[in-house]
Amino acid sequence: MSWEVAIERAKSSIVPRTYDVLKRYPYLQEIRKQVREAKEEVVKNLDHYIEETRKAVERIGGRFYLAGSAQEATEIAAKIVGSGKVVVMSKNNVAEETKLRERLEAAGNEVWETDLGAFLVQIAGEEPSHILAPAVHLTKERVAQVLRERLGMAVPPDAVEIAARVREFLRDKFIKADVGITGANAVAADTGAVVLVENEGNIRMTSVLPPVHIVYDGVDKIVPTLVVAQLVADLQSAYAGLYPPTYMNISAGPSSTADIEMTRVSPAQGPREYHMVLVDNGRRAAARDPVLWEALLCIRCGRCHLHCPVYWALGKEFGKPPYTGPMGVMWTAVTRGIEEAGPHALKCVHAGNCREVCPMGIDIPKVIHEVRVRYLKITK
């Protein structure tokens, strides 16, 4: 079945839900302002906050790595993981951006996406179509077909049944996993903690069951404090229409206990190692750019996609996966440059819905227009 059917179903479900959430919890409007201010502060002083984060992560017994490029980032992660391991990952756009899974597989590891949507995209061998719901292009009928063809799972085209079967399949992987890799909704510079928000419970397991936890995300996720980091997670889930989120996770270092003589020792039940790999890959340059800097405020709620007439028409052809839709054109420019983002900027019709619905109030049409202008200049 077609993209048109899939996106219509998604829109009719999530758009009204998001409006209900925003109406029911008016305090979100205040949080929006606070988060925008905090993120602006970080973008303006990004190097300072990266350094603060490094110190904080080391303070809590973790290891911190700043990766300049996509390749550097995957090399760092590959070194931590080694080979012959079972790796579980929670949905992670930066992993997709840098092709982390492919790199770890090439090193001889068994790597599993554990977010249902990301898992389905992995099994289907396709690209994610939405920042938050990577399998939004797959109808339930198509999902059932993919599971049957690729994993021999006989499952009816029913969301509940599909979720149940995939849960069974992934349980085993969680138990066996040597390494868990998560992203971060926000990274707190003051504490070295990460906040992760979810509904499935897979992030919780990814970050707690395996003995090694790697946080792998972009430097744009840094916010000044843990308090703000939690607010980011609140907002992200609310503007994705999924508030309250079922789970909110904080990870700050390896697991530990102080139950014996009140002396803190590590590990306890959770991981013994906590690594944080933060990726630059164009972000620090964007932070200094007079127009592109605004893209770094994005909290990846995915709302702009659902209000964009070009995304409705083109799906993942608008932007470069994982960065599709209005935010995707900006993020393609940040992470892959004007040359790759330009052709997508040319598809923008400047409808302006994205700007209206963005919790960060990012002037997305302006950024995209600038990408278009620069692209035409270099193409000339």
Partner 1 sequence: MEPSTSWIFSLRDLVLSSLKDRGLPIPVDREICSRWQQGLPSGPKETVLYTSCMYQMTPMIQKAVENLEKFGATRGGAASRVAAVAARYFGGLVLRPDKEHLERAYSILRSIYNMLRKSNVEVGLLPDEPYSGALLYELGFVEDFASYAAEVYKYFEERGVRRVITVDPHTQYVLERIYPQYVPGFDLDVRSYLEYIDVSRVKVKISGFAIHDSCLYARFLGKYDLVRRILAGGNPVEDPYVTGRETSGCCGGPAESINPQLATKIALGRAKKLAGLSRTVVSACPICLANLSRTGIVEVRDLAEVVEL
What is the rounded distance in angstroms from the CA atom of residue 317 to the CA atom of residue 87?
30
Q: Which is nearer to ligand SF4, 131 or 205 (CB)?
A: 131
**How would you list the strands of the sheet with 179-182, edge to edge?**
63-67, 273-279, 212-218, 179-182, 86-89, 110-113
375 binds partner 1 (CB under 8 A): yes
* Nearest distance, CB of residue 322 and partner 1, angstroms: 20
User: What DSSP assignment string belongs to 104-123?
Assistant: HHHTT-EEEE-SHHHHHHHH
Is the Cβ–Cβ distance between 310 and 348 less than 8 Å?
yes
Q: Residue 172 is encoded by which pair of tokens?
A: 């085993």
339 binds partner 1 (CB under 8 A): no
Chain length of the chain: 380
Q: Which is nearer to partner 1, 60 or 346 (CB)?
A: 346
- Residues 310-329, one symbol each (x = binds partner 1 by CB under 8 A, - = not), give x-xxx--x------------
- Residues 208-247, one symbol each (x = binds ligand SF4 by CB under 6 A, - = not), give -------------------------------x--------
- Between CA 192 and CA 202, with CA 196 as vertex, the angle to 5 degrees is 130
> Site for partner 1 (CB under 8 A): which residue of 185, 355, 359, 364?
355
Q: Which is nearer to partner 1, 170 or 310 (CB)?
A: 310
What is the rounded distance in angstroms from the CA atom of residue 77 to the CA atom of residue 225?
26
* Nearest distance, CB of residue 233 and partner 1, angstroms: 23
Q: Residue 327: name its binding partner from ligand SF4, partner 1, none (Cβ under 5 to 8 Å by kind).
A: ligand SF4
Q: Which is nearer to ligand SF4, 170 or 364 (CB)?
A: 364
- Between CA 236 and CA 201, with CA 20 as vertex, the angle to 5 degrees is 45
327 binds ligand SF4 (CB under 6 A): yes
Q: Residue 74 is encoded by which pair of tokens?
A: 């995957």
Which parts of this chain interact with partner 1 (CB under 8 A)?
4, 11-12, 15-16, 19, 307, 309-310, 312-314, 317, 343, 345-347, 349-353, 355-357, 369, 372-373, 375-376, 379-380
